[in-house]
Amino acid sequence: MPRYEVTIETDACDGIFACLTRDPRFVEGADGLATIDPDGDPIYDGDGTVTDADGRVVATFDDDRIDDAKRAAAACPTDAILVREVGE
């Protein structure tokens, strides 16, 4: 199963939240911008790690939901989200 990383550049996020409707792991953060919460999705049962530092939210997942994350990234009108495979 591919391991992948989802990055949100918070400086580029403008809070439109198109990503939230594509992948429920994307949620509104306390700052009014998008962030990632693996527990925000009631059907997600994988292991996910999330860091939030230096204007960047980075989450790493090891599951079969990379297409959901890619749809969320494609929906972002400011291109603030990057999804990339980082190994197996």
Q: How does pLDDT run across 3-25, given as a tens digit for each residue?
A: 999 999 999 999 999 999 999 99
The parent domain of residue 32 ranges over 3-87
Give me the residues paired with residue 36 across strands: 26
Is residue 58 within 8 A of residue 51, CB to CB? The reply is yes
- The CATH number assigned to the domain holding 81 equals 3.30.70.20
Residue 69, pLDDT score: 96
How many domains does the chain contain in total?
Answer: 1
Supply the pTM of this predicted model. Answer: 0.90
Tens of each residue's pLDDT in the chain, 88 residues: 779 999 999 999 999 999 999 999 999 999 999 999 988 777 766 677 899 999 999 999 988 899 999 999 999 999 999 999 998 7
- Name the average pLDDT for the chain: 91
